[in-house]
Amino acid sequence: MSPVARTLAMVIATLTVMRNAEAPIAPCAAAIARDGLGVCCGTCGAALDPRAVGLRVGPPGAPWAKLARRGDPPAPAATHEVLTRHYHFTAVTTRPEFEALAAVLEPAWDAFAVELGAAPALAQDEWLRVYYFQDEPSWRAKVLTDCGHCPKAGGYYFPPTKTAYLYRQPTVYFTRVLLIHELLHQFHFLARTQNRKPTADWYAEGFAEHLSHHFWDGERLVLGVVPLASFENYATQARTKVATETFDLAAMIEGRVASTRPEQWALVRYLATREDTGARDAWTRLRRAMDDGAAAGAAFNRAIGSARELQPKLRAWLDATQEPWQPLWNEWEGIGDGRLRGISPGAVSACRVREPARAIAAAIEVPSAGDWAGGLLLSYVSGDDYTLGLVCADARVRVLRRLAGAWHALADRRVAPAKATPATRRVEARRDGPRVVFLVDGTEIGTFELPGESLGLAIQHCELRFKDASWTPLATPTR
Ligand SMILES: [Zn+2]
């Protein structure tokens, strides 16, 4: 098919086909949290990770009654399809989720091509096939039909049909991670391994995990990052595993012991990003050998060296490579350096700096339309003892303490309306002993006596983006 015909087909197919309407779903955080906790790819039929983290949602009560806005009514699920330049994507879900996932496909292809230095050779009338489902039973039924078997997993790339299958994961972020993960297997196998699975799980899966951890702001996709804030938090899971006395990196590499996604992610990320002299060339040599089907132990020794000597370095690297933020309630994700997005259609939600903090600052990217409320988490001791400093769309600012199951207003005032378009609201807080001062666009809202050592970001009943987020650790002396 010519480029023009391909583009035309893409445009025509973008007019989504609706069929097989299914029962609507409730796209709220609580509904997603009740879904399964599948977190593992099934290229090898691996079992689910039993340590999958459950989700929590913010308190249902609305501290700001005026903003007690629920999310839009759930969109009905249907079968949506699109042909992009390289993908034929079918998703049985809501239109918003379908469109959000479809938008990632071509940026992922482009990023894979840069990372792997090659791309699958597609015939003129060939697109890579990808299926997405809302739940495990729908996914399983399709995989069984197409493949004749189905692993216990969250996604599956089946080489004989060159097709990737996956279903919704517990968070928006991890669903996108899994999509990129399965796309990566497909791309990697077709571009580099003659569509054969490499001999070692830690390599095939670790490579997919490393690249699928990403920043995505809706336009720009950056692969291979340490997430700013994720519930899955592979970095901490891997650090815990690698720190155990029985952890044996050589045995993991040689396949003598089973390994799970977090330490597979950690090993590949460490090898791919370390800055020692010759490390980049060593990683390239190892990749080439593994892609050619080499046995992992011998290939590792030739390209990298002694796993025994590397193990303490991997552990030290993990100590220094932790996610800087921690979601307290669903949903938060890093979308770029210093940029975070919170989604909470029906509740308060917050994330905090993972370490004790003395000061925090961020700029709210004011939405061009709609109601919103967002700002800072000024204290956090527990799910029933925390404080929010919220700016609202109408320039009202409130400081609210949640304690013993009730909201307490500590401040309520107006500030000057946001200027310019696109507008931002700069929010800052500084802790000095038991006192926390809160400022909006440089205007001091007040100083409050608040317990704990946590500072973070907060939203209520909206989706909101923050940029230029920064903090000062509590351990840093005051200047
Ligand atoms: Zn996988």
Q: Tell whether 38 is covered by a domain.
A: no
| Judgement on whether residues 139 and 106 belong to the same structural domain of the protein | yes
Lowest mean pLDDT among 89-93, 278-282, 403-407: 403-407
Q: Residue 207: what pLDDT?
A: 97
What is the whole-number distance in angstroms between the Cα of residue 32 and the centre of ligand 1? Answer: 22
What is the whole-number distance in angstroms between the Cα of residue 322 and the centre of ligand 1? Answer: 22
| Judgement on whether residues 23 and 141 belong to the same structural domain of the protein | yes
Residue 258 structural domain: 234-319
Q: Is the pLDDT of residue 90 over 80?
A: yes
What is the whole-number distance in angstroms between the Cα of residue 278 and the centre of ligand 1? Answer: 28
What is the whole-number distance in angstroms between the Cα of residue 157 and the centre of ligand 1? Answer: 8
Q: Is the pLDDT of residue 315 over 80?
A: yes
Containing 285, the helix (H) or strand (E) segment is: helix 279-291
What is the whole-number distance in angstroms between the Cα of residue 174 and the centre of ligand 1? Answer: 13
**What tokens appear for 83 in the block?**
């042909």
Higher pLDDT, 441 or 55: 441
Q: What is the pLDDT of residues 320-367, one digit of tens each?
A: 999 999 998 878 999 999 999 999 877 889 999 999 999 999 999 998
**What tokens appear for 125 in the block?**
């009338």
Write the single-letter amino acid at 58: G
**What tokens appear for 175 in the block?**
């669903």
What is the whole-number distance in angstroms between the Cα of residue 179 and the centre of ligand 1? Answer: 10
For a pLDDT cut of 70, what percent of the chain falls above it?
A: 83
* pTM for the predicted model, two decimal places: 0.87
Query: Residue written as tokens 């907060």?
Result: 458
Q: Residue 25: what pLDDT?
A: 23
Q: Tell whether 67 is covered by a domain.
A: no
Q: Tell whether 479 is covered by a domain.
A: no
**What tokens appear for 65 in the block?**
């009654």
Q: Tell whether 59 is covered by a domain.
A: no
What is the whole-number distance in angstroms between the Cα of residue 379 and the centre of ligand 1? Answer: 39
Q: Tell whether 333 is covered by a domain.
A: yes
The vertex-353 CA angle with 231 and 31, nearest 5°, equals: 30
Q: Is the pLDDT of residue 218 over 90?
A: yes
What is the whole-number distance in angstroms between the Cα of residue 368 and the centre of ligand 1? Answer: 39
Predicted confidence band at 17 (pLDDT cuts at 50, 70, 90)? very low
| Judgement on whether residues 279 and 185 belong to the same structural domain of the protein | no
Lowest mean pLDDT among 62-66, 182-186, 395-399: 62-66
What is the whole-number distance in angstroms between the Cα of residue 248 and the centre of ligand 1? Answer: 22
Q: Residue 417: what pLDDT?
A: 83
Please identify, among 299, 319, 339, the residue that sits at the C-terminal boundary of a domain: 319
Mean pLDDT for 13-23 is: 28
| Judgement on whether residues 111 and 247 belong to the same structural domain of the protein | no
Q: Is the pLDDT of residue 229 over 50?
A: yes
| Judgement on whether residues 461 and 329 belong to the same structural domain of the protein | yes
Predicted confidence band at 206 (pLDDT cuts at 50, 70, 90)? very high
3-state secondary structure of 33: helix
How many structural domains compose the chain?
3
| Judgement on whether residues 138 and 273 belong to the same structural domain of the protein | no
Mean pLDDT value across the chain:
85
| Judgement on whether residues 204 and 262 belong to the same structural domain of the protein | no
What is the whole-number distance in angstroms between the Cα of residue 383 and the centre of ligand 1? Answer: 35
| Judgement on whether residues 251 and 291 belong to the same structural domain of the protein | yes
| Judgement on whether residues 293 and 362 belong to the same structural domain of the protein | no
Q: Is the pLDDT of residue 163 over 50?
A: yes
What is the whole-number distance in angstroms between the Cα of residue 129 and the centre of ligand 1? Answer: 16
Q: Tell whether 49 is covered by a domain.
A: no
| Judgement on whether residues 301 and 342 belong to the same structural domain of the protein | no
Total residues belonging to the chain: 479
Please identify, among 167, 202, 223, the residue that sits at the C-terminal boundary of a domain: 223
| Judgement on whether residues 295 and 402 belong to the same structural domain of the protein | no
What is the whole-number distance in angstroms between the Cα of residue 297 and the centre of ligand 1? Answer: 20
CATH number of residue 145's parent domain: 3.40.30.160
Q: Residue 75: what pLDDT?
A: 67
| Residues, beta carbon < 5 Å, ion ligand 1 | 41, 43, 205, 208
Q: Tell whether 422 is covered by a domain.
A: yes
Helical ranges in 243-360 per DSSP H: 249-254, 261-273, 279-291, 296-303, 307-319
**What tokens appear for 383 in the block?**
């799910």
Lowest mean pLDDT among 15-29, 401-415, 422-436: 15-29
Q: Is the pLDDT of residue 314 over 50?
A: yes
What is the whole-number distance in angstroms between the Cα of residue 28 and the centre of ligand 1? Answer: 27
Q: Tell whether 63 is covered by a domain.
A: no
Q: Is the pLDDT of residue 55 over 70?
A: no
Please identify, among 263, 287, 319, the residue that sits at the C-terminal boundary of a domain: 319
What is the whole-number distance in angstroms between the Cα of residue 81 and the centre of ligand 1? Answer: 24
Mean pLDDT for 205-222 is: 97
CATH number of residue 459's parent domain: 2.60.120.560
| Judgement on whether residues 159 and 301 belong to the same structural domain of the protein | no
